[in-house]
Structure 1
Amino acid sequence: MRSELVLPMHLGRKAIVYVRQSTPSQIISNQESLRLQYALKLRARELGWKAGDVEIIDADLGLSGASTLRREGFRELVGRVGLGEVGLILSIDVTRLARNCSDWYPLLDICGLQKCLIADRDGVYDPASPNGRLLLGLKGTISELELHTIRSRLTAGLLAKAERGALALTLPIGFVRNPGGAVVKDPNVEVQGRLVFLFSTFLKVKSVSQVMRHLNRNGLDLPARDRHGDLHWTAATLAAVARILRNPAYAGAFVYGRTRFKAQRPGNLPQKTPRPIDEWRIVVQDQYPGYIDWQTYLKIRNHPARDAGVFRRRWYCGPAGGLSSARAGVHGGVDWGCH
C-alpha cells in the first residue's frame, strides 16, 4: 500500500532496511523476528521503490541498541542519510534503531534535514513534520523506558537472589557444587593444598611477586579450570596470584557487585573496574567453606605490601585505549603491559 508521504524525491534515493537482534542467541532462537525484519524489503517495494534501490544493513546483528558503540551498521546508516543518499529507513520497530533517546533524536534531526522518511510496521512517518516528529519522539521515549523497565526487573530479581546468597555465580578454582547444588571445597586435595600454601606464603612474605617467584622456583603450578570444567595446572603469574588473594570467596563470603562498568574516556566502551570494599553491594559471610577467615582476608587486602598495587588496581593505558596488567619484570620487579 502506497503512502501519501512518499514523493518522487524519496523514490529517487535508496530505501534502507535496518535489521538488528540484540544478542547472538536471539539470532538463533528468534528466527521468526529475523524473517519479519528481512521481509521489510517487500514493504519498500509496496511503497514504490524498485528492487535495485532497496538495500539491507544487517551489520549490527547480535549487538544491543542501548548504545551506538560498535554498531557500524547504524553509523553507516546515519552517514548515508547525512549525505542525502537515503529516502526511507525501514525497521520492524524503532527499538531496532535505538533504545537510547540521545541516539534516537539526532537521527530524527538528520532525517528531517535531509527529507528522509522513517517507516515501521505501524506506518510511514516524516521527521520533518510536527506530527511525524511527535509520533517518532514518543516511540523513542517509550522504547527507552521499556529498556529501563526490563533492566530494573532483571536487576531486582538478581539482587533478591544475591541478598540470600543464592545467586549461582561462577565459582573460583578450589570450589565446586555438589549434586545438591551446595558449594563445597574441591575434592582434589592437591588443589586445596596449593591454595592453602599460597595464602600462607603471602602472609609470611607479604609480597605478590615473591609468592609468584617462590611457586615457580619450586615448580608449584597453580590450578585452573577451562570453560569445560576440566582441571589443568599452569605456571604462577602475578595476575593469577593476585586474583586468588583478592577473591572474598576464599574467605567464605558471597559477594555481589565488586565491580562496575565505567567509561574511561568518551567514545570508548565502558570498562569493568573494581569497587572499593566499602562499596560492594552485597556481602553474605559464611556462605562458602573458606580457605581463610574474613579477618585474614581483610588483613591481606589492607596489608601494606610492597607490590600491593598489583591486586588493588588496574591501570588505564591512554595511548592504546585499553587496560594494562602486571607481569614479572626481568629484574624481579613489576612491569605493566597494555592489552
Structure 2
Amino acid sequence: MGSELVKPDHLDRKAVVYVRQSTPHQVITNQESLKLQYGLSQRARELGWREADIDVIDSDLGQSGAGAAHRKGFKDLVARVTLGEVGPILSMDVTRLARNCSDWYPLLDVCGHRRCLIADRDGVYDPGTPNGRLLLGLQGTISELELHTIRSRMTTGRMAKAERGDLVVQLPAGLVRDPSGVVTKEPAGAPVAALRDLPESTDGRANDAGLCGRGLALPRRDRHGDLHWQPATVSAVTAILKNPAYAGAFVYGRTWQKPSKIPGERSQKSPRRGTDWRIVVREKYPAYIDWEAFEKIQAMLRDNRAEYQHIKSRGIPRDGAACSTVSPIAANADTR
C-alpha cells in the first residue's frame, strides 16, 4: 500500500526504520512489540523501497525517549536527515522517536527542511506541510504529556508505600527479607560476626592500618542484592555507621539529584543531611542499635570532619589508643 506523499526524490534516498524500547527489561519481555517494530521494514517495501535501501537503527534499545543526550541512534538519525540521506523515517508511533518536545520539534524542523517524511502504522506525514506538522506536533505534545502522567502515577504510588515504610528497597548486609516480605536479622554467621568485630575510632573512622593488619573483610551487597566480601576501607565502614537501617529505620530520600554543570551530562546524586531526609519510619526493621545511639554516631561524624579552617570544629583525632573502641553496632549485634 503506497502513499501519494511518496515522490521519486524520496525513493532515491534511504528508508530508515527506528527501533527503540525504553528499558532493558522491556527488550527482554516485550518481544511482540520488538517484532512489530522490526516488521516496519515490510511497510517500507510496501511504500516502494527496495530491501537494499532500507536501514534499521536499533542502537537505542533499552533507552528512554525522555531525552536525546544518551541516545546515539537518535543522534545518528537526525544527522542523516540533516545531510539529506533519508527519504522517510518509519516508527511504530512518535513515542518511539521522542517523548520530549524539545527533541521532537527540532526533528520536525529538519525533516520539513530536507523533505523527509515520517511514517507510522496509521499513515505517512509530511512535516513540511502545515497539516502534517500540526498532526505530528499534536502527537508529540500528547506523547510528552503521557510520559508526565505515567511518571506522576508511579511517583504517587512509590511515595504512598514509602510513607508506610512498605517500599521494597535493597537491605544492607546483616538484614534479610524472607519470602513473605518480612525483614529479619541475618542468621547467626559470618555477616553478623563481621559487624560485631567492626572497630570504630572516636571519630567513627576505621583505622586502615589496624584493619588491614587483622585482615578484616566486610560483607557488602551489590546492586543486585548479592552478598560479597570486600576489604575494610574508610568508606565502607563509614557507610555502615551512617546507614539508618541498622537502627531499625526505613528511610527514603537520603540523596537528591544534583543538576549537571555541563549540558548533556547525567545529573549526579548528592547525599542529604539527616534532617533533610524525605521520609523516616522508625522501628520498621529489627535494630542492631537504638535510634539515640545512631544519632550520637551521626553527630560525632559531623563534628569530627577535618574542616577546622572552615567550620572551626575539633578536627579528627589522630591515631591512638582511642581507635580500639568497639562499634555500637557491633556491641549490640544479635548473634542469636
2:317 alignment partner in structure 1: none
Alpha-carbon spacing, 1:135–1:229, altered in 2? closer, same or farther (3 Å): closer
The residue identity in structure 2 corresponding to 1:297 is F
* Alignment counterpart, residue 271 of structure 1, candidates 263, 268, 273: 268
Aligned to 1:284: 281
Matched, 1:296 2:285: no
**Could you tell me which residue of structure 1 aligns to residue 211 of structure 2?**
215
**Amino acid in the other structure paired with 2:293:** T
2:229 equivalent to 1:233: yes
Answer yes or no: is the 8 Å Cα contact 1:15–1:90 preserved in 2: yes
Kept in 1, the 8 Å contact 2:212–2:232? The answer is: yes
Q: Unaligned regions of 5+ residues in structure 2, if any?
A: 309-336
Paired residue secondary structure (1:290): coil
Q: Distance in 2 between matches of 1:117 and 1:230?
A: 49
One-letter amino acid matched to 2:140: G
Q: Name the residue aligned to 1:305.
A: 304
Residue 315 (structure 1) aligns with? none
* Aligned equivalent of 2:70: 70
Q: 182-191 vs 30-39, which deviates more? A: 182-191
Shift of 1:155: 1.3
Give, in angstroms, the shift of residue 275 of structure 1: 2.3
Q: Distance in 2 between matches of 1:246 and 1:91?
A: 48
Q: How many residues align?
A: 305
User: Which residue in 2 is equivalent to 1:50?
Assistant: 50
SS in 2 for 1:208: coil
Higher relative CO (Cα under 8 Å, sequence separation at least 6) belongs to 2
Identify which range, 233-242 or 84-93, moves more after superposition.
233-242
Take 1:225 and 1:100, find their aligned partners in 2: how far apart are those partners?
Answer: 36
1:226 offset after TM fit, Å? 5.7
Structure 2: how far apart are the matches of 1:292 and 1:61?
A: 45
Q: Does 1:242 align with 2:241?
A: no
Shift of 1:150: 1.1
Q: Report how far residue 179 of structure 1 moved.
A: 4.9
Offset at 1:103? 0.9
List gaps (5 residues or longer) in structure 1.
Answer: 310-339
Q: Is the 8 A contact 2:173 2:227 kept in 1?
A: no
* Correspondence for 1:256 among 239, 252, 255: 252
Matched residue type, 1:30: N
Aligned to 2:106: 106
1:118 CA displacement: 0.6
Kept after mapping to 1: 8 A contact 2:204/2:297:
no
Aligned ranges 1:182-221 → 2 under 5 Å: 182-188=182-188, 190-198=190-198, 201-202=199-200, 204-210=201-207, 212-221=208-217
Cα distance change, pair 112–302 in 1 and its aligned pair in 2 (3 A): farther
Partner of 1:93: 93
CA distance in 2, matches of 1:94, 1:274: 37
CA contact (8 A) 2:219 2:230 kept: yes
CA distance in 1, matches of 2:167, 2:279: 11
- Partner-residue secondary structure (3-state), 2:89: strand
Give the counterpart letter for 2:26 in structure 1. Answer: Q
Shift of the 83–99 alpha-carbon distance from structure 1 to 2, 3 Å rule, reads same
Higher mean alpha-carbon deviation, 180-189 vs 155-164, is at 180-189
Q: Distance in 2 between matches of 1:59 and 1:206?
A: 49
Counterpart amino acid of residue 212 in structure 2 = N
| Letter in structure 2 aligned against 1:291 | Y
* Bigger shift: residues 225-234 or 187-196: 225-234
1:205 is paired with a residue whose SS is coil
Pair 179,35 (structure 1): closer, same or farther in 2 beyond 3 Å: closer
The residue number in structure 1 matching 2:28 is: 28
Task: State the TM-score, normalized to the length of structure 1.
Answer: 0.83
